[in-house]
């Protein structure tokens, strides 16, 4: 049942894989190995966070649809708190890949959201029904 609720994940994950290659290459060209690592880390962090949010919301919807809002908001707040902790930690460490990591996070976020919106508007399959509907 959760699998049906996650059918939107395929395209964003594929686009994130493509962005991982592109941003890592761009990071290499701009800042060398540290830029490539920063680019890869930024895309990976955003991809992981969106995938985990999707899993949490799908789980909540499978348990009870009224949980979706609270679980979704909790996942959102947790995700951005973790982003802040990671970014402040990386800045405090003085790591040279921070610029490409930040750029990659922006690009990956725009990419994920754009592909998911595109998929949503193009998907014409009926929505998943829950027991008791």
Q: pLDDT digits over 79-119, tens only?
A: 889 888 888 888 899 899 999 999 999 999 999 999 999 98
Portion of the chain with pLDDT greater than 70, in percent:
92
CA distance 90 to 105: 14
**Which whole-number Å values give the CA distances from 127 to 19, 56, 130, in the listed order?**
29, 18, 10
CA distance 16 to 55: 17
CA distance 111 to 101: 15
Tell me the two tokens of residue 78.
Answer: 């947790």
For the cut 60, the answer to whether the pLDDT of residue 4 exceeds it is: yes
Residue extents of the structural domains in the chain: 6-115
Q: pLDDT digits over 20-35, tens only?
A: 999 999 999 999 999 9
Confidence at 127, pLDDT banded by 50, 70, 90 = low
């Amino acid at each position: 049942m959760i699998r049906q609720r996650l059918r939107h994940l395929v395209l964003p994950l594929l686009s994130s894989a493509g962005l991982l290659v592109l941003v890592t290459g761009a990071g290499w060209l701009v800042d060398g190995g540290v830029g490539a690592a920063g680019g890869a880390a930024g895309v990976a962090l955003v991809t992981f966070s969106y995938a985990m949010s999707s899993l949490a919301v799908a789980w909540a919807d499978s348990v009870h649809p009224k949980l979706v809002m609270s679980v979704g908001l909790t996942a959102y707040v947790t995700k951005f708190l973790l982003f802040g902790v990671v970014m402040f930690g990386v800045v405090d460490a003085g790591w040279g890949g921070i610029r490409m990591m930040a750029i990659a996070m922006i690009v990956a976020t725009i990419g994920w959201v754009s592909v998911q919106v595109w998929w949503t508007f193009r998907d014409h399959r009926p929505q998943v029904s829950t027991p008791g509907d």
